[in-house]
């Protein structure tokens, strides 16, 4: 079903006539195509067209919510949402945003929307072939997938807000196995964009192969204290933790070690963390958030100092500030939470190194993969993660390393950042360059 403004307006009118003080309709329609390749043949093709909508109402400071995939359920959705609002607890901070001007970079690509099944198959096969052709030691591809999607979204509420936009996305992802030196190692890569021209499926395949090959012959190392270089993909994994710590929702619930620390220096003064929903072609870019508030570019941490949190409408009202346009939903069946649009780590220019970061220290561990970063404690900041990578001396790779452990406090760790590479890269909606950290405890 196509997105229909009249349908949304009808839902609003019915909700208000049943006693709702405020009402919001969220509608989305999407077309998705996924192809998986294996052994230079097609392993799976999944094509789908979906539609869904939800109704959120606020009555006497109480929240009601309902959703459906069938327009014929409209009256039931209205009835359930308004009835639910009679029984939920009162929440004085509930509200809906008003209309606001919204702009964003290019997020819709006709080329992605027009991709055929034949085109998608060719991209997935090219992705796998690029990995296999990289080296004869690449013996297996566990998964090579190419996905293409286009979506229409509309948000309408009783405060006069009407936001609607189309968006596209294309992604490439692959996991490969390399065998040699009596060893077997895995390599992975991912890339995505809203525009097809920004995405090289072959480059993703070659990068995954390179990552698997460089780890052949990995061995354990002795415990020591040494500088650490994080590959940009691992640095992005750490950004996932900061996205939670910088959420006003987490702060207000006492689940963030950044609570009550505004205007304090919380990491190295060379670091700035930016959230920007207006960037051209990025997967997190959009004109408005999932409540209809305009997105923008804003610094969250500036020169190491915490200057702002991310807010949606409810959390902003609770703190007496304006929403930052960071409402996110898992889909039409979810209520708005708080999350980043495009979160990126920037380092001041004089600290950016154009060569290999591991050339700078006499010796270091170059971390290319980390396991368990999500287990970091968001309240204390303590973490202990398994890592693998390369042991470097005088800029020369000595041997790959497996089963090492990094542990510490995430804020103290990010105070040790001494330099960054010029290799800023997005993985999904987060981006970071490689980072060099001062001496860090490494356990065997």
At 157-180, the pLDDT tens digits run 999 999 999 999 999 999 999 999
- Cβ-contact 95, 319 below 8 angstroms: no
Average pLDDT, the chain: 96
Residue 418 pLDDT: 96
Under the banding of pLDDT at 50, 70 and 90, the label for residue 439 is: very high
- Average pLDDT (242-248) is 97
At 43-88, the pLDDT tens digits run 999 999 999 999 999 999 999 999 999 999 999 999 999 999 999 9
Residue 2 pLDDT: 74
Residue 215 pLDDT: 97
Residue 3 pLDDT: 84
At 186-214, the pLDDT tens digits run 999 999 999 999 999 999 999 999 999 99
Give yes or no for residue 1 having a pLDDT over 70.
no
Element (DSSP H or E) covering residue 246: none
- Locate CATH 3.30.2290.10 in the chain: 5-213
Give yes or no for residue 363 having a pLDDT over 70.
yes
Percentage of the chain exceeding pLDDT 90: 95
Which has the higher per-residue pLDDT, 270 or 349?
270
CA distance 397 to 392: 5
At 404-426, the pLDDT tens digits run 999 999 999 999 999 999 999 99
Give yes or no for residue 39 having a pLDDT over 70.
yes
What is the second-level CATH architecture of the domain 5-213?
2-Layer Sandwich (3.30)
The residue with tokens 């043949």 is 41
Q: What is the pTM of this model?
A: 0.95
Residue 45 pLDDT: 97
At 291-327, the pLDDT tens digits run 999 999 999 999 999 999 999 999 999 999 999 999 9
Neighbours of 350 (CB within 10 A): 7
Question: Which residues have a Cβ under 8 Å from the Cβ of 142 and sit 6 or more positions away?
Answer: 175, 176, 177, 186
- Average pLDDT (96-108) is 84
Percentage of the chain exceeding pLDDT 70: 99
In sequence order, what DSSP letters do the residues of 3-30 get, joined into one string? --HHHHHHHHHHHHHTT-SEEEEEEEEE
What separation in angstroms does the CA of 244 have from each of 167, 228, 259, 305?
Answer: 25, 24, 12, 17
Residue 278 pLDDT: 94
Burial class (CB in 10 A: 0-12, 13-18, 19+), 375: exposed
Residue 104 pLDDT: 64
- Average pLDDT (279-287) is 96
Beta partners for residue 141, in sequence order: 176
CA distance 31 to 51: 9
């Amino acid at each position: 079903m196509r997105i229909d403004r009249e349908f949304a307006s009808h839902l609003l009118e019915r909700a208000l006539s049943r006693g709702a003080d405020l009402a919001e309709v969220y509608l989305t329609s999407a077309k998705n195509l996924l192809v998986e390749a294996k052994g230079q043949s097609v392993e799976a093709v999944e094509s789908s067209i979906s539609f869904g909508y939800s109704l959120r109402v606020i009555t006497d400071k109480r929240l009601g919510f309902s959703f459906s995939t069938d327009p014929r359920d409209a009256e039931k959705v209205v009835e359930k949402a308004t009835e639910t609002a009679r029984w939920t607890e009162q929440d004085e901070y509930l509200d809906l945003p008003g209309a606001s001007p919204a702009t964003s970079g290019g997020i819709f690509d006709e080329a992605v929307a027009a991709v055929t099944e034949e085109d998608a198959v060719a991209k997935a096969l090219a992705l796998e072939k690029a990995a296999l052709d990289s080296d004869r030691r690449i013996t297996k591809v566990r998964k090579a997938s190419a996905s293409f999607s286009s979506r229409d979204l509309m948000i309408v509420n009783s405060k006069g807000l009407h936001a609607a936009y189309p968006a596209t996305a294309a992604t490439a992802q692959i996991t490969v196995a390399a065998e040699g030196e009596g060893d077997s190692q895995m390599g992975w890569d991912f890339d995505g964009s809203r525009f097809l021209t920004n995405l090289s499926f072959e480059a993703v395949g070659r990068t995954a192969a390179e990552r698997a090959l460089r780890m052949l012959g990995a061995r354990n190392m002795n415990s020591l204290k040494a500088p650490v270089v994080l590959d940009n993909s691992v640095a992005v994994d750490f950004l996932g933790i900061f996205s939670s710590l910088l959420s006003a929702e987490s702060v207000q619930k006492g689940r963030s070690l950044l609570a009550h620390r505004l205007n304090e220096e919380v990491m190295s003064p060379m670091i700035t963390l930016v959230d920007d929903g207006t960037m051209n072609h990025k997967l997190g870019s959009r004109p408005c958030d999932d409540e209809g508030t305009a997105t923008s570019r804003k610094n969250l941490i500036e020169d190491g100092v915490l200057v702002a949190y991310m807010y949606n409408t409810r959390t902003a009202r609770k703190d007496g500030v304006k929403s930052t346009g960071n409402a996110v939903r898992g889909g039409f069946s979810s209520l708005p939470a708080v999350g980043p649009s495009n979160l990126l780590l920037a380092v001041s220019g004089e600290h950016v190194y154009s060569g290999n970061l591991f050339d700078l220290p006499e010796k270091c561990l170059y971390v290319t993969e980390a396991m368990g970063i999500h287990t970091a404690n968001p309240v204390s900041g303590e973490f202990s993660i398994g890592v693998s990578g390369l042991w470097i001396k005088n800029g020369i790779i000595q041997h790959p390393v497996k089963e090492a452990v990094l542990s510490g406090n995430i804020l103290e760790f990010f105070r040790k950042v001494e330099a960054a590479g010029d290799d800023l890269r997005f993985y999904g909606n987060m981006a970071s360059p490689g980072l060099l950290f001062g001496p860090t405890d490494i356990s065997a």
